[in-house]
Homo-oligomer: A and B are copies of this chain.
Amino acid sequence: GFSDDAKPSGGGRVFAPYAIFKGKAALTVAPVLPVFAKIDSGNVCIERRGTVMMTFMPAIGQRKYDWAKKQMFALSATEVGSVISMGSKDSSEFFHDPSMKSSNSGQVTKSLSIKPYEDSKSQDGKGGYYFSLSVQNKILKTNHYLVVPVTIAEFAVMKTAFSFALPYIMGWDRLIVQGENAPQSFST
């Protein structure tokens, strides 16, 4: 896993996000692996699902982006499936409440929208998708809105990379690896 609690001591992490830098904002995407827990039986259970983390940053100059003002949205496996299955005319919209089911429910709401665009004014003249993240904080009374136009080629990279990552964020690679390393599964 990537989280601070999972790897508290210095180093060893790998950073290789796919980054899309545009005029008003940048978007990076990277998988976050699930966290597994050993249970009493000695078996291993998935404890926290993996995600594909989308990080938006506003531009503060030419090809300079403000990391401190980043806004994040973690796509679940099913939301990744939704993106992968989008046709060229399809839109998607996802809503998250980071404090869902807690007493802070509803204080922060996030929505990620993916909408196709297609006109001669678009960046590559061929169309693509607007990725828009809206984050509303009712306590701080802030409302952040960031938009990154994603070309068809960049969206194809995302779809291929998301399809690659999906079994890993689901933890299915562990099912497979256990089989390969399990000589006891041979009967003689």
Binding site for B on A (CB under 8 A): 1, 5-7, 10-16, 18, 30-31, 33-38, 41-47, 77-82, 84-85, 151-158, 160-161, 163-168, 170-180, 182, 184-188
> Which residues of chain B have C-beta atoms less than 8 A from A152's C-beta?
82, 85
A176 to B78: give the CA distance in the assembly, Å: 19
- Known A-B contacts A167-B164, A172-B164; the reply to A185 vs B33 at CB < 8 A is yes
Out of B1, B46, B180, which one reaches A182, CB within 8 Å? B1
Residue of A155, A156, A165, A185 with most chain B CB atoms under a 10 A cut-off: A185
Residue of A13, A46, A188 with most chain B CB atoms under a 10 A cut-off: A13
Q: Given A6-B184, A6-B187, A36-B185, 19 other A-B contacts at CB below 8 A?
A: A5-B187, A12-B42, A14-B44, A14-B171, A14-B174, A14-B175, A14-B178, A15-B44, A16-B34, A16-B36, A16-B171, A16-B172, A35-B187, A44-B186, A85-B152, A85-B155, A157-B170, A161-B166, A165-B176
> Which residues of chain B have C-beta atoms less than 8 A from A46's C-beta?
15-16
Number of copies: 4
- Known A-B contacts A78-B157, A153-B81, A184-B7; the reply to A43 vs B18 at CB < 8 A is no
Contact between chains at B81 and A178 (CB < 8 Å)? no
Least CB distance, A2 to chain B, in whole angstroms: 8
> Which residues of chain B have C-beta atoms less than 8 A from A15's C-beta?
43-46
A164 to B77: give the CA distance in the assembly, Å: 14
A160 to B18: give the CA distance in the assembly, Å: 20
